[in-house]
Amino acid sequence: MTIDSLFNRACEALVAVLKRGAWWVILSSLILAALSVNYAYHHLTFRTSRSDLVASDQRLLLLGEKLSKDFGSRDDLVVVVENGHPRTKAFAEGLAQELRKYPREFPEIFYRLQPAAFKKWALLYLEPKQLQEIKDKLQDHQALLAGLAANPGLTGFYQGVNHELTGSMLGELFTGFLQEDRRQENIPDLSLLIASLQGLRGGLEGKAAYKSPLSGVFLKGMEDLDQEGYFFTENDKYLLFLVTPEKDGFSQASHSVQLLRDIVAQVQRQFPGVKAGVTGPMALEADEMGSATADIALATWLSLAGQMLLLIFFFRSLRRTLIEGLVLIVGLCWTFGVATLVVGHLNLLSVIFAPLMLGITIDLGVHWFCRLEEEQALQGKTNGNSLHCTMQRAAPAIVYAALAAAASFIPLSLTGFKGLAELGVILTIGVLLMLVATLTLLPSLVLVTERFIMVKTQGCRGTPKPFLHLRWRQPAVLVSGGLALAALGAVSLLHVHFDLNPLHLQNQKTESVVWEMKLMENSRYSTAFGAITTKNLEDLEAKSTALKALPTVSHVESILSFLPSQAKAKREQLSTLAPIFQKISFPAALVRPSNPRELAEVLGSIHFKLARALESDPSLVQVKEAAGLLSQVIPMLKSAGPRTVANLESYEKKFVQDLRDTWDFLRDGVQSPAPQISDLPAEVRDRFISPQGTYLLRVFSSEDIWDPAPLGKFVHDLQHVDPDVTGDPVLLYYFTQAFRNACLWAAGVGLLVIAFMLFGVFRSFKLTMLALIPLFVGTGWTLNLMWLLNIPFNQANVLFLPLILGEGIEFGIIILVRWQMEESAREITLPASTAKGVLLAALTTTLGFGSLMVSGHQGTFSLGLLATVGSLSVLLASLSVLPAFLRLVGKQAIAPRQPQRIIPVWRRVLLLLGGKEVTLDKSKS
Amino acid sequence: MHKIVTISVVAALALWLAVAPALAATPQAFVKNILDEVMAIQSNPAMEGPSHETVRAQAIRRVIQKNFDFPYMAQDSLGAAYDRLNPGQRQEFATVFSCLFQASYTNMVLRFLKREEIKYGNETVTGNKARVDTTLMRANDHIQVEYLLHQKGGNWVLYDVIVDGVSILDKYKTGFAREIQTGSFDSLLNKMKTQLKAVQ
C-alpha cells in the first residue's frame, strides 16, 4: 500500500461520509463553534504584562517577583503635572483629595512629604552654601538681633535697621576701600527693610494676612515650608504624583487607568491651564493592550470582509464566498475554544492570532475551490465526480501545505519564550483545526448548497488550461534575474537594522506614551527604574555611592535620599552659631507696644538717608522702593488715630510672634541632632525598607532608557555593581534580546523542519529545493524592499520571519505536488487553476496581514506592512521563477513521483539485516 | 627796656585777643561756626551745581582741615597697633590718614549736607572733652549727629562724629583692626595710599 493509495481511499471514504451525512457535519460543526465561543467568553483572559511573555521560571522574573513581594508593587501609575503654573501644587492637593474618595481602586497615593515632620531638621536639608548664607546673615545682623532682643517690637527693630544702614553707609564712605569684594553701591541689601515696610503698611491698613518679612532674609530657601515636600523632577519641570492602583488583571488595570484619567480631567476643570497626564508602567501596558485589542478587532473584521470581497470577485459566486467565510468563522471559533482550553489566556503577542490565522488558512479553501472550478469545467458542473476528483487531487497538496504551515509554527512553541510559545501553539492548533474544517465542513456546505448528480467514480480526466497561456520560452533569463535579485537580498540583510526600542512600537498618540516621552526628553526622567536590594546600611551606602558615580545613572533613590546629605559637616557648620542663640532670646509676647510717633521718627531717619542716596543716584531700585514705602508709612504713623494705633498694635504682636517663631525654628535647627531612619515617616520607610529588613535602591538612567544602546550600557553598569539587579529596564533589555533571538531561532528551525518534511513528501532533494524557491526568492526580494524603503526589523515584525515560512512553502507545495502527480500539469508547467489558487491565496493572505496596518500600534502596523510586502514577493516568485525553473530543469531531470511504499515492520528488520529488498507494490496489482 | 616789655605785652595781648574767640567760644558755638561755614559754602549761589562741585569740595576741605585733630584720630584709630610703629611709620600713617579722612568727610558733606535745617541740642562738657548734639532736619525727616570735641592747644577741635549712633572713629578702629589681623600694617597702609590716589 502506498501513501498515495491511502490518500485516495481516505478521500473516497470522506466523500462517501459527506454524501450521506453532510447536514450532520454542518450541524455538529456549528454546535461545536457555539460551545467554543461560549467557553472562551467565560474563561479566556488577557495578560498584559511584558513579564507574562517570558517563562516564569526565569531568574530575572523570580528576582522581580521577590522584589514585589518584599516591597510591594507600588507606583504603577504616575500623574505627571507640568510645573510653571502658579496653581500646580494646589492641583496636586485637589487631585489627592479626589483620589481619597476611591480607597479601593487607589489604596495608596504618594505625592508629598509633609514638611511638619521634617521642620526641626529643615536646616540640615539645605545645601552647604545656603547654610553658609544663613550663617552669614545671622552673624551680620547679630547686633541688630541683640538690640531687638533687648527691645522687641517694631521701634527696636527699625532702630536696629537704621543703625545697620547708617553703619553700612558710613563704612562704605570711610572704610569701604578695605574690603576685597567691594560693592559699587554704598547702600546695603534692603530686602529686609522693604519686606518689613510692606508688611507694616498692610498692617496699618488693617489687612489680616500676615507675611513674615524675616523668613525671606534669615530662612532663605525655606521661605514657605508649608509649600514644600512635593516631588519634582530634578529640573523642576514636572511634578510627579505616584498612585498605586488595585491590581487584578487586564480588565481591572484598564479600568483603573481610565478612572484615574477621568479624575484628573475632573480636577483639571477646577484648575484651567494646568496640564497633566497619566503614564507609568501600568498605563503604558494597558494603553498598548487596549489599543492592540481594539485595532485587532477592527483588523479581523476588515480582513474577513476584504477577503470575502476578493473571493466574490474571483469565484463570481456569492454562495461560495459565504461558504468559505462560514468555514473560516467556524474554524476561528473552534480555535478560540481550544486555545482557551490549552492556553487559557491571550498575551501581547498572541492577541494578534486571529487575523494571522485567517490570512494563512483561507488559502486552504481557496485551493480547494479553484480545483473544484477546474474539475467542474472539465467534467460538468453538476457531475458529482468533480467533487470526488477535487478531493482526490487537491486534498494531498492542501494537507501538506497545512502541515507545513503548522510545522513552521511548532518551533515557536519550543523557544522557551512564553509569549511566542503560546502564539505558536495557538497558530498550530488553529491551522490544523482549519484543515479539518476545510476538508469536512467546506465540502459538506458545497454538497448541500449546490446540485451534484452522484455517479460511480469515473476517474479524473481532462487537460487543464495553462496559466495565461504562457509558453515559458526563455526560462533561463527569468531564473537568472530572479536568483540575482534574491542573492542581493543577502546584501540587503546587512543594511536592514533591528530597532529594539519598544516605545517606537506603541501608538505614539496614546496619553501614556506622550507623557513618558515628555519626561524623557525634557527632564531625563523615566517611570522605569532598576532595583537593587541590600541587607544592611553599609552596603546600601557603598552601592549608592558606586551607582551615583556611574555616568549612565541620573540619580538614585533609597531611604538615604530622605536623610540630609553631609549631615555631620552641616552639624559642625551650624554648631558655630550656637553661641549666638545662647546669648539672644526673644520674649514670648509683645512687652510694650510702639508709640506711632516714636516709630515715625525712627523711620524718618531712615528716609533721610535713603532720600539723600536717591538724589545722588536716582537709579537705585531698592532705595527708590524703600523710600516710596516710607513716604506712605510715615504720614500714616504721624497722623495715627485710634484705629491706626489698634492696627499697629495688632500687627506688632504678629511681628513679635513671628520673630519668636523664626528664632525658635532656627535655634531648634541649630541644636537638633541629625535625623535617623526611624524619624522618617512610615510611608517612606515602607517604600524602601522591607519587613525583612532589606533596603531598596531605585536607580534611574541618565539617558533614554527606551533606546537599546543606552539601555544596554545602563543595565551592564548596574550589573557590574550588583549582578542581581532587576526592574523594568533589566527585564526590557533581556526581553527584547530574547524575543529577537527566539524569532530568528524559530525561523531557522522551522525551515529545517519544513525541509525535512518536504523531503519526506517528495523523496527527492531536487524537488525539495524547488519547493523552497518561492520562499527563498520571495524573502530575498522582501529584504531588498526593506532596504529600499528603510523598514527596520523590530520586536513586532520580526514575527514575519516564522510566519512567511508557512506562506512561502505553501505555494511551492501546491504547484509542485500537482506538477509531480499529473502529467498534464507537467506539459503546461503551471495550470491556470493552480495559478489562480496561488494568486487568490496570496492576495487573501496579503489582505489578512495588510489589515493589521489599520492599527495605531506601530509594531502591529509594521508587521502588517512587512508581511504584505513579503506575501506579494513570494507570490511573484511562485508564479515566475518557480515555473521558469520547472521549465528549465525539464521532465527528465526530475523523476516522476514514485509510489511511496508503506513497509511493514518485519520487512524493515530484514532490510536492516541486509536482506534483499522485497517489494510489494499493490498499485501494480 | 620798659619799651620792649610794653611792646611784648601788647603783642601778647593782641595775639591773645586774636585767638580769644576760639577759647572763649563754647563747644556748641564752635560746632555752629563750622556748620554755618559749611552751609554757606553749600548754599552759595556762585558755587551751585555740579560744575562747581570741585570748588565747593576744596572750600569744605579747608574747613575740615582746620577743625579736626587728625594726629589724635590717626593714633586712636590704630589702637594698640600704634605703639608698635616707629616714628617714621607713625608720621606717614598720620599724613595718609589725614588726607583720606578729609577726602571721605568732604564727600559725605557734599552728599548729605545740603539745605538742611540744623537744630542744636545739648552740649555736654566733661573735663577737656565735650559733646554737642545736633539734629539735621529736612522736610519730615531728621537724623541725630553728635560731635565729639576736645581741647588742644587751648582750642576746641573735633575728633569724632557720631551719626545716628554710629561713630566714624569706631568704624576706622574696627576696619583697621580687622585689616591688621588678617594682613599687616603695611597692607593697611598700602590700601590707604591706593585709595588716596583714587580719590585725588
What's the whole-number mean pLDDT along residues A236-258?
82
Residue A896 has pLDDT above 70, yes or no: no
Out of B140, B171, B191, closest to residue A171 by CB: B171
In B54-83, the residues whose Cβ lies within 8 Å of chain A are none
Query: Using a CB-CB distance cutoff of 8 angstroms, which residues of chain A are in contact with residue B177?
Result: none
Residues A858/A506, Cβ–Cβ less than 8 Å: yes
What predicted TM-score, i.e. pTM, was given to this entire model?
A: 0.65
Q: Which of A164, A172, A173, A636 to mutate to test the interface with B (most CBs of B within 10 A)?
A: A173
| B188 phi/psi in degrees, rounded to 5 | -65, -50
Highest mean pLDDT among A414-418, A419-423, A580-584, B32-36: B32-36
Q: Check residue A211 and give its pLDDT.
A: 78
Q: Check residue A471 and give its pLDDT.
A: 60
Q: What is the tens place of the pLDDT at every residue in A721-779?
A: 999 999 888 888 887 777 778 888 888 888 898 899 888 888 888 888 888 888 888 88
Of B7 and A347, more confident: A347
Residues A260/A77, Cβ–Cβ less than 8 Å: yes
Residue A604 touches chain B, beta carbons under 8 Å: yes
B144/A605 touch (CB, cutoff 8 Å), yes or no: yes
Residue B141 touches chain A, beta carbons under 8 Å: yes
Q: Which of B141, B182, B195, B196 to mutate to test the interface with A (most CBs of A within 10 A)?
A: B141
As given in the structure block, the three cell numbers for residue B151 are 581741647
- Determine the residue of chain A that is closest to B141 in CA distance: A604
Q: Return the closest-CA partner of residue A432 out of A388, A460, A398.
A: A398
Of A211 and A410, more confident: A410
B104/A173 touch (CB, cutoff 8 Å), yes or no: yes
Query: Using a CB-CB distance cutoff of 8 angstroms, which residues of chain B are in contact with residue A616?
Result: 111
Residue A925 has pLDDT above 50, yes or no: no
Query: Using a CB-CB distance cutoff of 8 angstroms, which residues of chain B are in contact with residue A601?
Result: 142
Q: Check residue A55 and give its pLDDT.
A: 62
Residue A387 has pLDDT above 80, yes or no: yes
Residues A428/A64, Cβ–Cβ less than 8 Å: no
CA torsion through residues A843, A848, A849, A855, sign:
positive
The architecture that CATH gives domain B26-199 is Roll (3.10)
Residue B13 has pLDDT above 60, yes or no: no
Q: What is the tens place of the pLDDT at every residue in A451-466?
A: 777 666 667 777 777 7
Q: Chain B: nearest CA to A130, how far in angstroms?
A: 25
What's the whole-number mean pLDDT along residues A71-95?
87
Query: Using a CB-CB distance cutoff of 8 angstroms, which residues of chain A are in contact with residue B164?
Result: 162-163, 166, 605
ipTM of this complex: 0.87
DSSP annotation string for A579-642: HHHHH----SS-SSPPPHHHHHHHHHHHHHHHHHHHHH-TT-HHHHHHHHHHHHHHHHHHT--H
Residue A178 touches chain B, beta carbons under 8 Å: yes
Neighbours of A86 (CB within 10 A): 9
The CA distance from A829 to A10, in Å, is: 28
Q: Check residue B14 and give its pLDDT.
A: 45
Out of B104, B138, B191, closest to residue A608 by CB: B138
Q: Return the closest-CA partner of residue A530 out of A506, A504, A558.
A: A558
Residue A168 touches chain B, beta carbons under 8 Å: no
Cβ burial, residue B117 (10 Å; 0-12/13-18/19+): exposed
- Among A26-30, A320-324, A590-594, which stretch is predicted with the lowest mean pLDDT? A590-594
| A125 phi/psi in degrees, rounded to 5 | -90, -5
- Among A13-22, A498-507, A565-574, B73-82, which stretch is predicted with the lowest mean pLDDT? A498-507
Residues 6+ apart with CB under 8 A from A365: A324, A327, A328, A438, A442
Alpha helices in A704-764 (DSSP H): 708-721, 728-762
Query: Using a CB-CB distance cutoff of 8 angstroms, which residues of chain A are in contact with residue B140?
Result: 604, 607, 634-635, 638
Residue A614 touches chain B, beta carbons under 8 Å: no
**What residue ranges do the domains of chain B occupy?**
26-199
Query: Using a CB-CB distance cutoff of 8 angstroms, which residues of chain A are in contact with residue B143?
Result: 605, 608-609
Q: What is the tens place of the pLDDT at every residue in A711-736?
A: 899 999 999 999 999 988 888 888 77
Q: Return the closest-CA partner of residue A557 out of A168, A113, A37.
A: A113
